[in-house]
Chains A and B, each alone.
Chain A
Amino acid sequence: MNNWFKQIGLTLVLMFSAIGLAQAGSSQGAEQPVATDGQIWSQLKAGATGVTTSHGEFHNQPINTYDLRVLELRSDLLAPALTAALFGMIIIFVLFIKVNGISKLHGGFSGKLVYRWSKFDVSIHWLGAIPCLLLILTGLTLLAGRFFFQPYIGEGLWAGFVYAAKQVHDFMAIPFMLGWALMTTLWAKNQLPKMYDLKWMMVVGGYINFGPFKGKHPDAGFANAGEKLWFWAFAVFGLVISASGMLLLFPNLFEPSRTLSLIALVLHSVSAIIITAFSIVHIFMATVMSEGGMECMVSGYCDETWASQHHNLWFDEIKENGTLKYKD
Protein backbone atom coordinates (compact mmCIF):
# COMPACT_ATOMS: atom_id res chain seq x y z
CA MET A 1 0.00 0.00 0.00
CA ASN A 2 2.62 2.48 1.08
CA ASN A 3 4.60 1.28 -1.85
CA TRP A 4 1.91 2.50 -4.21
CA PHE A 5 2.13 5.99 -2.89
CA LYS A 6 5.89 5.93 -2.88
CA GLN A 7 6.17 4.86 -6.47
CA ILE A 8 3.60 7.25 -7.82
CA GLY A 9 5.06 9.92 -5.63
CA LEU A 10 8.46 9.28 -7.10
CA THR A 11 7.11 9.67 -10.59
CA LEU A 12 5.41 12.89 -9.70
CA VAL A 13 8.49 14.21 -8.01
CA LEU A 14 10.54 13.45 -11.06
CA MET A 15 8.05 15.27 -13.16
CA PHE A 16 8.34 18.55 -11.40
CA SER A 17 10.59 20.14 -8.92
CA ALA A 18 10.74 18.47 -5.57
CA ILE A 19 8.82 19.95 -2.70
CA GLY A 20 12.12 20.71 -1.04
CA LEU A 21 12.72 23.25 -3.80
CA ALA A 22 9.66 25.22 -2.92
CA GLN A 23 11.68 28.22 -1.87
CA ALA A 24 13.86 28.17 -4.96
CA GLY A 25 11.94 30.71 -7.03
CA SER A 26 10.70 32.91 -4.26
CA SER A 27 14.01 34.59 -3.40
CA GLN A 28 14.07 36.65 -6.60
CA GLY A 29 10.33 36.54 -7.16
CA ALA A 30 9.58 39.72 -5.22
CA GLU A 31 9.31 42.12 -8.19
CA GLN A 32 7.13 39.89 -10.39
CA PRO A 33 4.58 37.33 -9.27
CA VAL A 34 6.20 34.09 -10.37
CA ALA A 35 4.75 30.88 -9.05
CA THR A 36 7.24 28.82 -7.14
CA ASP A 37 7.74 25.20 -8.06
CA GLY A 38 6.10 24.25 -4.82
CA GLN A 39 3.00 26.28 -5.69
CA ILE A 40 2.76 24.80 -9.17
CA TRP A 41 3.20 21.35 -7.74
CA SER A 42 0.50 21.76 -5.14
CA GLN A 43 -1.93 23.18 -7.70
CA LEU A 44 -1.34 20.28 -10.03
CA LYS A 45 -1.63 17.77 -7.24
CA ALA A 46 -4.93 19.34 -6.24
CA GLY A 47 -6.19 18.55 -9.74
CA ALA A 48 -5.80 21.98 -11.38
CA THR A 49 -7.05 22.14 -14.95
CA GLY A 50 -5.63 24.33 -17.68
CA VAL A 51 -5.72 24.97 -21.39
CA THR A 52 -4.40 22.55 -23.95
CA THR A 53 -4.64 22.11 -27.69
CA SER A 54 -5.47 18.43 -27.21
CA HIS A 55 -9.04 17.21 -27.60
CA GLY A 56 -8.25 13.97 -25.74
CA GLU A 57 -10.53 12.87 -22.92
CA PHE A 58 -9.61 14.56 -19.61
CA HIS A 59 -6.54 16.06 -21.28
CA ASN A 60 -6.96 19.50 -19.76
CA GLN A 61 -6.09 18.11 -16.34
CA PRO A 62 -2.47 17.04 -15.85
CA ILE A 63 -3.05 15.00 -12.69
CA ASN A 64 -6.14 13.31 -11.34
CA THR A 65 -5.56 12.20 -7.77
CA TYR A 66 -7.73 9.63 -6.05
CA ASP A 67 -7.35 7.10 -3.30
CA LEU A 68 -5.18 4.42 -4.86
CA ARG A 69 -6.45 1.88 -2.36
CA VAL A 70 -9.40 1.17 -4.69
CA LEU A 71 -6.98 -0.74 -6.92
CA GLU A 72 -6.03 -3.14 -4.15
CA LEU A 73 -9.58 -3.27 -2.89
CA ARG A 74 -10.59 -4.53 -6.30
CA SER A 75 -7.80 -7.03 -6.93
CA ASP A 76 -7.21 -8.33 -3.39
CA LEU A 77 -10.70 -8.25 -1.94
CA LEU A 78 -13.49 -7.96 -4.49
CA ALA A 79 -12.03 -10.36 -7.06
CA PRO A 80 -11.52 -13.25 -4.59
CA ALA A 81 -14.85 -12.47 -2.93
CA LEU A 82 -16.78 -12.78 -6.18
CA THR A 83 -14.96 -16.01 -7.02
CA ALA A 84 -15.89 -17.32 -3.57
CA ALA A 85 -19.48 -16.13 -3.92
CA LEU A 86 -19.85 -18.29 -7.00
CA PHE A 87 -17.68 -21.38 -6.51
CA GLY A 88 -17.55 -21.31 -2.71
CA MET A 89 -21.33 -21.14 -2.41
CA ILE A 90 -21.73 -24.04 -4.85
CA ILE A 91 -19.34 -26.18 -2.81
CA ILE A 92 -21.02 -25.25 0.46
CA PHE A 93 -24.42 -26.06 -0.94
CA VAL A 94 -23.39 -29.41 -2.39
CA LEU A 95 -21.90 -30.39 0.97
CA PHE A 96 -24.97 -29.13 2.79
CA ILE A 97 -27.27 -31.23 0.64
CA LYS A 98 -25.02 -34.28 1.09
CA VAL A 99 -25.28 -33.94 4.88
CA ASN A 100 -28.80 -32.61 5.22
CA GLY A 101 -30.69 -34.06 2.29
CA ILE A 102 -33.38 -32.20 0.38
CA SER A 103 -36.87 -31.17 1.35
CA LYS A 104 -39.16 -33.89 0.06
CA LEU A 105 -42.87 -33.48 -0.49
CA HIS A 106 -44.65 -35.36 2.28
CA GLY A 107 -46.86 -37.91 0.64
CA GLY A 108 -45.38 -37.27 -2.78
CA PHE A 109 -46.85 -35.32 -5.68
CA SER A 110 -50.61 -35.01 -5.65
CA GLY A 111 -50.71 -34.59 -9.40
CA LYS A 112 -53.12 -31.66 -9.01
CA LEU A 113 -51.53 -28.45 -10.27
CA VAL A 114 -52.44 -25.11 -8.68
CA TYR A 115 -52.22 -21.83 -10.59
CA ARG A 116 -49.44 -19.67 -9.09
CA TRP A 117 -47.80 -17.49 -11.76
CA SER A 118 -49.14 -16.00 -14.99
CA LYS A 119 -47.40 -16.72 -18.29
CA PHE A 120 -46.23 -13.11 -18.22
CA ASP A 121 -44.70 -13.55 -14.75
CA VAL A 122 -42.83 -16.62 -15.93
CA SER A 123 -41.48 -14.77 -18.95
CA ILE A 124 -40.21 -11.76 -17.03
CA HIS A 125 -38.55 -14.13 -14.57
CA TRP A 126 -36.49 -15.66 -17.37
CA LEU A 127 -35.99 -12.30 -19.04
CA GLY A 128 -34.07 -11.31 -15.93
CA ALA A 129 -32.67 -14.68 -14.90
CA ILE A 130 -30.92 -15.85 -18.07
CA PRO A 131 -29.06 -12.55 -18.59
CA CYS A 132 -28.31 -12.50 -14.84
CA LEU A 133 -26.51 -15.84 -15.08
CA LEU A 134 -24.54 -14.70 -18.11
CA LEU A 135 -23.74 -11.40 -16.40
CA ILE A 136 -22.41 -13.25 -13.36
CA LEU A 137 -20.13 -15.46 -15.46
CA THR A 138 -18.90 -12.68 -17.73
CA GLY A 139 -18.60 -10.21 -14.84
CA LEU A 140 -16.51 -12.71 -12.93
CA THR A 141 -14.27 -13.03 -15.98
CA LEU A 142 -13.80 -9.26 -16.11
CA LEU A 143 -13.10 -8.89 -12.41
CA ALA A 144 -11.14 -12.03 -11.60
CA GLY A 145 -10.45 -13.90 -14.85
CA ARG A 146 -6.89 -12.65 -15.05
CA PHE A 147 -6.16 -14.24 -11.69
CA PHE A 148 -7.87 -17.60 -11.86
CA PHE A 149 -8.23 -18.29 -15.55
CA GLN A 150 -5.66 -16.54 -17.70
CA PRO A 151 -2.61 -18.37 -16.23
CA TYR A 152 -3.98 -21.70 -17.47
CA ILE A 153 -4.80 -20.86 -21.09
CA GLY A 154 -2.95 -19.52 -24.10
CA GLU A 155 -2.67 -15.84 -24.94
CA GLY A 156 -4.89 -15.90 -28.03
CA LEU A 157 -7.59 -17.89 -26.30
CA TRP A 158 -7.57 -15.54 -23.34
CA ALA A 159 -7.84 -12.49 -25.58
CA GLY A 160 -10.86 -13.96 -27.35
CA PHE A 161 -12.42 -15.09 -24.13
CA VAL A 162 -12.19 -11.79 -22.28
CA TYR A 163 -13.37 -9.89 -25.35
CA ALA A 164 -16.40 -12.18 -25.64
CA ALA A 165 -17.05 -11.67 -21.93
CA LYS A 166 -17.17 -7.92 -22.37
CA GLN A 167 -19.46 -8.10 -25.41
CA VAL A 168 -21.88 -10.51 -23.77
CA HIS A 169 -21.85 -8.47 -20.57
CA ASP A 170 -22.61 -5.25 -22.40
CA PHE A 171 -25.53 -6.66 -24.37
CA MET A 172 -27.05 -8.82 -21.64
CA ALA A 173 -27.24 -5.75 -19.40
CA ILE A 174 -30.27 -4.44 -21.29
CA PRO A 175 -32.67 -7.44 -20.95
CA PHE A 176 -31.46 -7.86 -17.36
CA MET A 177 -32.47 -4.32 -16.47
CA LEU A 178 -35.84 -4.77 -18.17
CA GLY A 179 -36.47 -7.97 -16.25
CA TRP A 180 -35.28 -6.39 -13.02
CA ALA A 181 -37.57 -3.36 -13.42
CA LEU A 182 -40.64 -5.47 -14.24
CA MET A 183 -40.08 -8.01 -11.47
CA THR A 184 -39.41 -5.45 -8.74
CA THR A 185 -42.42 -3.31 -9.58
CA LEU A 186 -44.95 -6.05 -10.36
CA TRP A 187 -44.06 -8.48 -7.59
CA ALA A 188 -43.36 -6.18 -4.65
CA LYS A 189 -46.85 -6.37 -3.12
CA ASN A 190 -46.48 -10.10 -2.34
CA GLN A 191 -43.08 -9.56 -0.78
CA LEU A 192 -43.91 -7.25 2.13
CA PRO A 193 -42.55 -8.57 5.44
CA LYS A 194 -45.02 -10.06 7.94
CA MET A 195 -44.68 -11.14 11.56
CA TYR A 196 -44.69 -14.85 10.71
CA ASP A 197 -41.59 -14.31 8.59
CA LEU A 198 -39.61 -13.98 11.81
CA LYS A 199 -40.68 -17.44 12.92
CA TRP A 200 -39.80 -18.78 9.50
CA MET A 201 -36.30 -17.39 9.91
CA MET A 202 -35.95 -18.89 13.40
CA VAL A 203 -36.36 -22.40 12.01
CA VAL A 204 -34.56 -21.67 8.73
CA GLY A 205 -37.73 -22.38 6.80
CA GLY A 206 -37.90 -25.97 8.00
CA TYR A 207 -35.28 -27.04 5.50
CA ILE A 208 -32.87 -28.35 8.14
CA ASN A 209 -33.39 -32.06 8.60
CA PHE A 210 -31.63 -32.56 11.94
CA GLY A 211 -31.49 -31.24 15.51
CA PRO A 212 -34.18 -28.99 16.91
CA PHE A 213 -35.16 -27.82 13.41
CA LYS A 214 -36.18 -31.23 12.15
CA GLY A 215 -39.68 -31.60 10.76
CA LYS A 216 -40.68 -27.98 11.29
CA HIS A 217 -43.09 -26.36 8.83
CA PRO A 218 -43.24 -22.66 9.54
CA ASP A 219 -46.03 -20.50 8.15
CA ALA A 220 -45.50 -18.78 4.83
CA GLY A 221 -47.68 -16.70 2.57
CA PHE A 222 -47.31 -16.39 -1.20
CA ALA A 223 -43.61 -15.86 -0.61
CA ASN A 224 -41.70 -17.18 2.38
CA ALA A 225 -39.24 -15.13 4.40
CA GLY A 226 -36.24 -16.44 2.51
CA GLU A 227 -37.77 -15.54 -0.82
CA LYS A 228 -38.65 -12.10 0.48
CA LEU A 229 -35.09 -11.52 1.60
CA TRP A 230 -33.85 -12.50 -1.84
CA PHE A 231 -36.47 -10.31 -3.50
CA TRP A 232 -35.46 -7.18 -1.60
CA ALA A 233 -31.75 -7.85 -1.93
CA PHE A 234 -32.30 -8.26 -5.67
CA ALA A 235 -34.37 -5.07 -5.79
CA VAL A 236 -31.81 -2.94 -3.94
CA PHE A 237 -28.57 -4.33 -5.34
CA GLY A 238 -30.16 -4.73 -8.76
CA LEU A 239 -30.73 -1.00 -8.68
CA VAL A 240 -27.15 -0.28 -7.57
CA ILE A 241 -25.71 -2.62 -10.18
CA SER A 242 -27.89 -1.16 -12.93
CA ALA A 243 -27.10 2.44 -12.04
CA SER A 244 -23.36 1.88 -11.75
CA GLY A 245 -23.45 -0.27 -14.88
CA MET A 246 -25.17 2.49 -16.83
CA LEU A 247 -22.37 4.90 -15.92
CA LEU A 248 -19.82 2.41 -17.21
CA LEU A 249 -21.81 1.40 -20.26
CA PHE A 250 -22.69 4.89 -21.49
CA PRO A 251 -19.79 7.16 -20.53
CA ASN A 252 -20.62 9.30 -23.56
CA LEU A 253 -24.11 9.93 -22.16
CA PHE A 254 -23.40 10.53 -18.47
CA GLU A 255 -19.80 11.75 -18.73
CA PRO A 256 -18.78 10.52 -15.28
CA SER A 257 -15.47 11.70 -13.87
CA ARG A 258 -12.70 9.12 -13.70
CA THR A 259 -13.01 8.86 -9.95
CA LEU A 260 -16.77 8.38 -10.20
CA SER A 261 -16.20 5.60 -12.72
CA LEU A 262 -13.86 3.86 -10.29
CA ILE A 263 -16.42 4.21 -7.51
CA ALA A 264 -19.04 2.79 -9.86
CA LEU A 265 -16.78 -0.19 -10.52
CA VAL A 266 -16.48 -0.86 -6.80
CA LEU A 267 -20.22 -0.52 -6.14
CA HIS A 268 -20.89 -2.69 -9.17
CA SER A 269 -18.61 -5.45 -7.87
CA VAL A 270 -19.97 -5.29 -4.32
CA SER A 271 -23.52 -5.65 -5.64
CA ALA A 272 -22.35 -8.45 -7.94
CA ILE A 273 -20.96 -10.37 -4.97
CA ILE A 274 -24.24 -10.11 -3.09
CA ILE A 275 -26.43 -10.93 -6.09
CA THR A 276 -24.21 -13.87 -7.03
CA ALA A 277 -24.26 -15.42 -3.55
CA PHE A 278 -28.06 -15.06 -3.38
CA SER A 279 -28.47 -16.39 -6.91
CA ILE A 280 -26.62 -19.59 -6.11
CA VAL A 281 -28.80 -20.19 -3.05
CA HIS A 282 -31.91 -19.33 -5.07
CA ILE A 283 -31.02 -21.70 -7.90
CA PHE A 284 -30.20 -24.55 -5.51
CA MET A 285 -33.43 -24.04 -3.60
CA ALA A 286 -35.51 -24.06 -6.76
CA THR A 287 -33.87 -26.92 -8.57
CA VAL A 288 -32.73 -29.47 -6.01
CA MET A 289 -33.51 -28.44 -2.45
CA SER A 290 -37.24 -28.01 -2.69
CA GLU A 291 -38.83 -30.90 -4.50
CA GLY A 292 -41.47 -29.63 -6.91
CA GLY A 293 -40.30 -26.00 -6.75
CA MET A 294 -38.98 -25.70 -10.27
CA GLU A 295 -42.39 -26.39 -11.81
CA CYS A 296 -43.56 -22.89 -10.78
CA MET A 297 -41.24 -21.18 -13.20
CA VAL A 298 -41.76 -23.71 -15.97
CA SER A 299 -45.53 -23.85 -16.29
CA GLY A 300 -46.57 -21.29 -13.70
CA TYR A 301 -48.40 -24.03 -11.75
CA CYS A 302 -47.33 -25.81 -8.59
CA ASP A 303 -48.31 -29.14 -7.10
CA GLU A 304 -51.03 -28.92 -4.48
CA THR A 305 -48.88 -30.73 -1.91
CA TRP A 306 -46.05 -28.29 -2.53
CA ALA A 307 -48.40 -25.36 -2.07
CA SER A 308 -49.73 -26.55 1.26
CA GLN A 309 -46.31 -27.63 2.53
CA HIS A 310 -44.31 -24.53 1.63
CA HIS A 311 -46.91 -21.77 1.32
CA ASN A 312 -49.71 -22.85 3.63
CA LEU A 313 -51.11 -19.38 4.36
CA TRP A 314 -51.32 -18.51 0.70
CA PHE A 315 -52.92 -21.85 -0.12
CA ASP A 316 -55.52 -21.42 2.66
CA GLU A 317 -56.22 -17.92 1.43
CA ILE A 318 -56.86 -18.80 -2.21
CA LYS A 319 -59.02 -21.71 -1.14
CA GLU A 320 -61.08 -19.39 0.99
CA ASN A 321 -61.49 -16.48 -1.40
CA GLY A 322 -62.15 -18.73 -4.36
CA THR A 323 -59.19 -17.71 -6.53
CA LEU A 324 -57.81 -21.24 -6.39
CA LYS A 325 -57.50 -22.45 -9.96
CA TYR A 326 -56.43 -25.91 -11.08
CA LYS A 327 -54.77 -26.76 -14.34
CA ASP A 328 -57.21 -28.61 -16.55
Chain B
Amino acid sequence: MATMKFLCDTKRCIECNGCVTACKNENDSALEWGIQRRRVVTINDGQPGEASISVACMHCTDAPCQAVCPANCFYKTEDGLTLHNKDTCIGCGYCLYACPFGAPQFPKKGAFGSRGKMDKCTFCAGGPEENHSDAERQKYGSNRIAEGKLPMCAELCATKSLLAGDAEIISSIYRERVAYRGSKNAIWG
Protein backbone atom coordinates (compact mmCIF):
# COMPACT_ATOMS: atom_id res chain seq x y z
CA MET B 1 0.00 0.00 0.00
CA ALA B 2 0.89 3.60 -0.33
CA THR B 3 2.38 5.60 2.49
CA MET B 4 0.67 8.96 2.42
CA LYS B 5 2.62 12.09 3.35
CA PHE B 6 2.50 15.86 3.00
CA LEU B 7 5.31 17.96 1.66
CA CYS B 8 5.46 21.74 1.67
CA ASP B 9 7.85 23.42 -0.72
CA THR B 10 8.82 26.58 1.13
CA LYS B 11 10.21 28.11 -2.04
CA ARG B 12 6.71 28.11 -3.50
CA CYS B 13 4.50 28.89 -0.53
CA ILE B 14 3.17 32.45 -0.89
CA GLU B 15 1.26 32.51 2.41
CA CYS B 16 -2.10 32.81 0.69
CA ASN B 17 -3.82 30.59 3.30
CA GLY B 18 -5.75 28.86 0.54
CA CYS B 19 -5.05 25.46 2.14
CA VAL B 20 -6.39 26.72 5.46
CA THR B 21 -9.59 27.93 3.84
CA ALA B 22 -9.94 24.78 1.76
CA CYS B 23 -9.64 22.63 4.87
CA LYS B 24 -12.11 24.72 6.84
CA ASN B 25 -14.63 24.50 4.05
CA GLU B 26 -14.17 20.82 3.35
CA ASN B 27 -14.33 19.67 6.98
CA ASP B 28 -16.67 22.31 8.36
CA SER B 29 -19.17 19.76 9.74
CA ALA B 30 -16.60 18.46 12.20
CA LEU B 31 -14.81 21.67 13.17
CA GLU B 32 -15.95 23.26 16.39
CA TRP B 33 -15.59 27.00 16.71
CA GLY B 34 -11.99 28.12 16.68
CA ILE B 35 -10.45 24.86 15.55
CA GLN B 36 -8.08 25.01 12.65
CA ARG B 37 -6.47 21.83 11.36
CA ARG B 38 -3.98 23.46 9.05
CA ARG B 39 -2.13 26.73 9.44
CA VAL B 40 0.50 28.67 7.55
CA VAL B 41 3.43 29.98 9.57
CA THR B 42 5.80 32.63 8.26
CA ILE B 43 9.21 32.88 9.86
CA ASN B 44 11.39 35.99 9.54
CA ASP B 45 8.29 37.88 8.42
CA GLY B 46 9.24 41.06 6.54
CA GLN B 47 12.94 40.36 6.94
CA PRO B 48 15.58 38.77 4.80
CA GLY B 49 15.13 35.03 4.91
CA GLU B 50 11.35 35.16 5.12
CA ALA B 51 9.79 31.77 4.48
CA SER B 52 6.29 30.40 4.82
CA ILE B 53 5.24 26.86 5.49
CA SER B 54 1.90 25.14 5.72
CA VAL B 55 1.63 22.78 8.69
CA ALA B 56 -0.91 20.19 9.79
CA CYS B 57 -0.66 16.64 11.08
CA MET B 58 2.26 14.95 9.30
CA HIS B 59 0.91 11.44 9.83
CA CYS B 60 4.14 10.29 11.41
CA THR B 61 5.11 6.69 10.90
CA ASP B 62 5.88 6.03 14.57
CA ALA B 63 3.50 8.67 15.81
CA PRO B 64 4.34 10.26 19.19
CA CYS B 65 0.65 11.07 19.75
CA GLN B 66 -0.17 7.39 19.43
CA ALA B 67 2.61 6.41 21.81
CA VAL B 68 1.49 8.80 24.53
CA CYS B 69 -2.32 8.58 24.42
CA PRO B 70 -3.64 7.06 27.68
CA ALA B 71 -6.93 6.12 26.04
CA ASN B 72 -5.24 4.56 23.01
CA CYS B 73 -7.37 6.53 20.55
CA PHE B 74 -5.04 6.41 17.59
CA TYR B 75 -4.76 3.85 14.84
CA LYS B 76 -2.86 3.55 11.57
CA THR B 77 -4.68 3.04 8.31
CA GLU B 78 -3.32 0.87 5.54
CA ASP B 79 -2.30 4.09 3.78
CA GLY B 80 -0.01 4.92 6.67
CA LEU B 81 -2.30 7.65 8.01
CA THR B 82 -2.59 8.34 11.74
CA LEU B 83 -6.26 8.71 12.61
CA HIS B 84 -8.05 8.79 15.94
CA ASN B 85 -11.31 7.78 17.57
CA LYS B 86 -13.13 10.71 19.18
CA ASP B 87 -15.44 8.42 21.16
CA THR B 88 -12.50 7.13 23.20
CA CYS B 89 -10.72 10.47 23.57
CA ILE B 90 -10.75 11.81 27.13
CA GLY B 91 -9.37 15.23 26.26
CA CYS B 92 -6.25 14.93 28.40
CA GLY B 93 -4.04 16.88 26.01
CA TYR B 94 -1.07 14.47 26.08
CA CYS B 95 -1.07 14.19 22.28
CA LEU B 96 -0.70 17.94 21.96
CA TYR B 97 2.30 17.85 24.30
CA ALA B 98 3.91 15.03 22.34
CA CYS B 99 3.18 16.10 18.78
CA PRO B 100 6.18 17.87 17.24
CA PHE B 101 3.87 19.82 14.91
CA GLY B 102 1.20 21.11 17.27
CA ALA B 103 -1.42 19.30 15.21
CA PRO B 104 -3.89 18.16 17.89
CA GLN B 105 -6.29 20.94 18.87
CA PHE B 106 -9.13 21.18 21.38
CA PRO B 107 -12.47 22.99 21.47
CA LYS B 108 -11.90 24.20 25.04
CA LYS B 109 -8.79 25.54 26.68
CA GLY B 110 -8.03 23.22 29.54
CA ALA B 111 -10.14 24.78 32.31
CA PHE B 112 -9.83 22.17 35.09
CA GLY B 113 -8.30 19.70 32.70
CA SER B 114 -11.32 19.43 30.44
CA ARG B 115 -10.54 20.25 26.87
CA GLY B 116 -13.22 18.34 24.98
CA LYS B 117 -12.53 15.90 22.15
CA MET B 118 -9.27 16.31 20.29
CA ASP B 119 -9.44 17.25 16.62
CA LYS B 120 -6.72 17.13 14.03
CA CYS B 121 -6.12 16.72 10.30
CA THR B 122 -7.40 13.37 9.03
CA PHE B 123 -5.71 13.65 5.61
CA CYS B 124 -9.34 14.04 4.55
CA ALA B 125 -9.80 10.36 5.37
CA GLY B 126 -12.58 10.57 7.96
CA GLY B 127 -12.44 8.34 11.02
CA PRO B 128 -13.40 4.94 12.38
CA GLU B 129 -17.11 5.38 11.60
CA GLU B 130 -18.58 3.93 8.44
CA ASN B 131 -17.36 5.74 5.32
CA HIS B 132 -19.51 8.77 4.42
CA SER B 133 -21.92 8.15 7.29
CA ASP B 134 -23.47 11.07 9.16
CA ALA B 135 -21.50 10.15 12.26
CA GLU B 136 -18.26 10.32 10.31
CA ARG B 137 -19.12 13.69 8.83
CA GLN B 138 -20.11 15.12 12.21
CA LYS B 139 -16.98 13.96 14.01
CA TYR B 140 -14.25 13.90 11.41
CA GLY B 141 -15.41 15.81 8.35
CA SER B 142 -14.94 14.66 4.81
CA ASN B 143 -13.59 11.35 3.56
CA ARG B 144 -12.01 12.04 0.19
CA ILE B 145 -9.56 9.16 0.40
CA ALA B 146 -12.45 6.66 0.32
CA GLU B 147 -13.54 8.35 -2.93
CA GLY B 148 -10.07 7.95 -4.40
CA LYS B 149 -9.34 11.68 -4.07
CA LEU B 150 -6.46 13.50 -2.42
CA PRO B 151 -6.70 15.98 0.49
CA MET B 152 -8.54 19.21 -0.28
CA CYS B 153 -5.84 21.53 1.10
CA ALA B 154 -3.20 20.22 -1.29
CA GLU B 155 -5.61 19.94 -4.21
CA LEU B 156 -6.50 23.61 -3.92
CA CYS B 157 -2.98 24.92 -3.40
CA ALA B 158 -2.56 27.48 -6.16
CA THR B 159 1.21 27.27 -6.42
CA LYS B 160 1.34 23.52 -5.80
CA SER B 161 3.60 24.20 -2.90
CA LEU B 162 1.66 21.83 -0.68
CA LEU B 163 1.79 18.31 -2.04
CA ALA B 164 -0.11 15.35 -0.62
CA GLY B 165 0.05 11.74 -1.69
CA ASP B 166 2.26 8.72 -1.75
CA ALA B 167 5.64 9.57 -0.27
CA GLU B 168 7.55 8.16 -3.25
CA ILE B 169 5.59 10.15 -5.78
CA ILE B 170 5.59 13.51 -4.05
CA SER B 171 9.26 13.29 -3.27
CA SER B 172 10.08 12.55 -6.91
CA ILE B 173 8.03 15.60 -7.96
CA TYR B 174 9.99 17.65 -5.51
CA ARG B 175 13.29 16.23 -6.67
CA GLU B 176 12.48 17.17 -10.22
CA ARG B 177 11.64 20.72 -9.16
CA VAL B 178 14.93 21.12 -7.41
CA ALA B 179 16.75 19.89 -10.50
CA TYR B 180 14.96 22.53 -12.61
CA ARG B 181 15.87 25.21 -10.14
CA GLY B 182 19.40 24.63 -11.32
CA SER B 183 21.36 23.08 -8.55
CA LYS B 184 23.54 20.55 -10.26
CA ASN B 185 25.06 19.12 -7.15
CA ALA B 186 21.84 18.63 -5.25
CA ILE B 187 21.77 15.27 -3.56
CA TRP B 188 18.50 13.85 -2.29
CA GLY B 189 18.49 12.53 1.26
Interface residues of chain A, those whose CB is within 8 Å of chain B, are: 3-4, 7-8, 10-18, 20-21, 23-25, 27-28, 32-35, 37, 39-40, 43-44, 48-66, 68, 71-72, 74-75, 141-143, 145-146, 150, 155, 158-159, 162-163, 166, 170, 248-252, 258-259, 261-262, 265
Given contact pairs A37-B10, A162-B88, A250 touches B41 in the complex (Cβ within 8 A): no
The DSSP consensus for interface residues of chain A is helix
Given contact pairs A13-B189, A162-B71, A35 touches B183 in the complex (Cβ within 8 A): no
Asked if B100 and A8 sit within 8 Å, CB to CB, the answer is yes
Given contact pairs A33-B49, A50-B41, A249 touches B10 in the complex (Cβ within 8 A): no
A180 CB to closest chain B CB (Å) equals 19
Q: Most chain-B CB neighbours within 10 Å: which of A16, A25, A43, A65?
A: A16
Q: Which residue of B lies closest to A33 (CB)?
A: B48
User: In the docked arrangement, what's the CA distance between A21 and B20, Å?
Assistant: 28
User: In the docked arrangement, what's the CA distance between A138 and B35, Å?
Assistant: 30
Asked if B102 and A4 sit within 8 Å, CB to CB, the answer is no
B106 CB to closest chain A CB (Å) equals 7
Asked if B6 and A15 sit within 8 Å, CB to CB, the answer is yes
A78 CB to closest chain B CB (Å) equals 12
User: In the docked arrangement, what's the CA distance between A325 and B94, Å?
Assistant: 53
Asked if B45 and A166 sit within 8 Å, CB to CB, the answer is no
25 A–B pairs (Cβ distance < 8 Å), ordered by A? A7-B61, A7-B62, A13-B189, A15-B7, A15-B8, A17-B178, A20-B188, A23-B185, A25-B11, A28-B182, A34-B49, A43-B43, A44-B43, A62-B41, A62-B43, A63-B101, A71-B68, A74-B67, A74-B68, A142-B92, A158-B71, A158-B88, A159-B87, A251-B109, A262-B97
Asked if A248 and B189 sit within 8 Å, CB to CB, the answer is no
Please tell me which one of the listed residues A51, A56, A159 contacts residue B102 in the complex, with CB atoms under 8 A apart: A56
Size class of B's contact patch? 35 or more
Q: Which residue of A lies closest to B66 (CB)?
A: A71
Given contact pairs A16-B8, A50-B43, A8 touches B60 in the complex (Cβ within 8 A): yes
Asked if A146 and B42 sit within 8 Å, CB to CB, the answer is no
B residues in contact with A57, CB < 8 Å: 96, 102, 105-106, 109
A47 CB to closest chain B CB (Å) equals 10
User: In the docked arrangement, what's the CA distance between A48 and B55, Å?
Assistant: 14
Given contact pairs A7-B62, A54-B36, A162-B71, A37 touches B11 in the complex (Cβ within 8 A): yes
A299 CB to closest chain B CB (Å) equals 36
Asked if B67 and A75 sit within 8 Å, CB to CB, the answer is yes
Please tell me which one of the listed residues B6, B67, B92, B109 contacts residue A71 in the complex, with CB atoms under 8 A apart: B67
Asked if A50 and B45 sit within 8 Å, CB to CB, the answer is yes
Q: Which residue of B lies closest to A170 (CB)?
A: B113
Asked if B186 and A24 sit within 8 Å, CB to CB, the answer is yes
A residues in contact with B64, CB < 8 Å: 8, 68, 71
B148: Cβ under 8 A from any A Cβ: no
The 8 A CB mask of B84-127 against A (1 = contact, 0 = none) is 00011011111011111110011001111110000000000000
Please tell me which one of the listed residues A24, A35, A146 contacts residue B44 in the complex, with CB atoms under 8 A apart: A35
B17: Cβ under 8 A from any A Cβ: yes
Asked if B90 and A56 sit within 8 Å, CB to CB, the answer is no
User: In the docked arrangement, what's the CA distance between A49 and B5, Å?
Assistant: 23
Asked if B188 and A40 sit within 8 Å, CB to CB, the answer is no
Q: Which residue of B lies closest to A254 (CB)?
A: B110
B residues in contact with A39, CB < 8 Å: 49
Asked if A71 and B98 sit within 8 Å, CB to CB, the answer is yes
Asked if B102 and A162 sit within 8 Å, CB to CB, the answer is no
Asked if A146 and B60 sit within 8 Å, CB to CB, the answer is no
A residues in contact with B181, CB < 8 Å: 24
B135: Cβ under 8 A from any A Cβ: no
B54 CB to closest chain A CB (Å) equals 9
Asked if B90 and A166 sit within 8 Å, CB to CB, the answer is yes
Q: Most chain-A CB neighbours within 10 Å: which of B49, B69, B109, B182?
A: B49
User: In the docked arrangement, what's the CA distance between A304 and B167, Å?
Assistant: 77
Q: Which residue of B lies closest to A27 (CB)?
A: B183
Asked if B62 and A8 sit within 8 Å, CB to CB, the answer is yes
The 8 A CB mask of B49-90 against A (1 = contact, 0 = none) is 111110100111110100111111000000000000001101
User: In the docked arrangement, what's the CA distance between A150 and B73, Å?
Assistant: 11
The 8 A CB mask of B171-189 against A (1 = contact, 0 = none) is 1001000100111011111
Asked if B43 and A48 sit within 8 Å, CB to CB, the answer is yes
